[in-house]
Amino acid sequence: MANLRDLRTRIDSIKNTKQITNAMKMVAAAKLRKSQDLCINSRPYADYVERVLFLLQQKNNTKTHPMLNTPNPNGKILLVVVTGDRGLCGSFNSSIIRYTNQYMKDNNDKVYDLLCIGRKAYDAFKRSGKVVQHFTNISENTDIDNIYPVKNAVLTMYSSGEYSKVEIVYNEFKSAIQQELQCKQLLPIASTESESEHYVDFLYEPDEETLIEELCTKYINVELWHIMLESNAAEQAARMTAMDNATNNATELIDQLSLLYNRMRQAQITTEIIEVASGAEAIQQ
């Protein structure tokens, strides 16, 4: 029974893997709590920027600002793809990549470009020749300043007039065990007029155009930041679930293998006893 030792080695290696997956689960759980809090705390801010923008739109009936109304309806589409930088988080990255591939297939007739956030998205699409810009290693740092380069890139590209709209694909954090893939239009900013809010005649300082310009920039910034937080929380949640499953599978495998190992050991001992006993028997006769 030579493979008794092999079995032993296998059990040990699974035990090591289990320890790692368990540690990763703990880390993801701790990070999840942090990003979940941030995500929830940031909601009033994002909502309020949106509300002020809405109040301004109410007065400024023209809506001629390029960020509210596209200046070039036949332009290209810019698709912002948000994934994580690391793997081992279940279908978190792959579902985004699958969706983007499908999107590209469905919109074959239109011209589009990709802007990738996160290493996984860049790795998946760098050969397609569609990636115009990519950002990696920015999802872990949750400061709002951290998103400025992305915002600047998106706004510069959009204001060049080449693009008709900017869409963003990301995972929204639903709960610790559920993420939902979202595809949202980032620019031009969709009007939120459905709210039945009272009309107030506000005074503006300096003037409406300057305010709209500033607010739109801020809105994009906040929106991108909020999406990064959502995606970050979703990634941690996905990793936590994936690692929890991996740990459970490892436990199950260890149990099965231990059973097999013990049975084999028992069998070996029995054989040895029989051998010794029959040897002794032979000598007595």
Partner 1 sequence: MKKIHIELIMPEGKKIDEMVDSINVPGVDGDFEILPDHTPFITKIRPGTLCLNTNNKTTKYAIHDGFITVDKDKVIIISEIAESEKEIDLNRAKLSKERAEKRIFNSKDEDIDYRRAEVSLHKAVARINTIG
Residue 60: both structure tokens together: 């400024």
Min separation Cβ 178 and partner 1, Å: 25
CB-based contact 77:164 (threshold 8 Å): yes
**What's the angle, vertex CA 214, arms to CA 145 and CA 118, rounded to 5?**
35
38 binds partner 1 (CB under 8 A): yes
Residues near 261 by beta carbon (within 8 Å), at least 6 away in sequence = 4, 7, 8, 11
CA-based nearest residue to 166, from 224, 214, 95, 235:
224
Tell me, what DSSP letter sits at residue 2? T
Binding to partner 1 by CB under 8 A, coded x per residue (else -) over 152-191, reads ----------------------------------------
Q: Per CB under 8 A, which region of 120-128, 129-137, 195-203, 256-264 contacts partner 1?
A: 195-203
Assess 52 for contact with partner 1 (CB under 8 A).
yes
Query: Does 131 help bind partner 1 (rule: CB under 8 A)?
Result: no
Decide: is 11 part of the binding site for partner 1 (CB under 8 A): no
3-class SS string, 107-136? CCCCCEEEEEECHHHHHHHHHHCCEEEEEC
Sign of CA dihedral 121, 122, 127, 132: positive
Check residue 49 for interaction with partner 1 (CB under 8 A).
yes
Q: Which stretch binds partner 1 (CB under 8 A): 66-74, 128-136, 187-195, 204-212?
A: 204-212
Bond into 44 cis (ω within 30): no
| Closer residue to partner 1 in complex, CB, 49/116 | 49
Q: Which of 14, 27, 29, 42 binds partner 1 (CB under 8 A)?
A: 42
Residues in contact with partner 1, counted by CB under 8 A, come to a total of 25
Q: Does 56 bind partner 1 (CB under 8 A)?
A: yes
Part of the chain binding partner 1 (CB under 8 A), chosen from 41-49, 91-99, 169-177, 254-262: 41-49
> Quick one: residue 178, left, alpha or beta (phi over 0 = left, psi -120 to 50 = alpha)?
beta
What are the residues binding partner 1 (CB under 8 A)?
A: 38, 41-42, 44-45, 48-49, 52, 55-56, 144, 200-206, 210-211, 214-215, 218, 222, 225
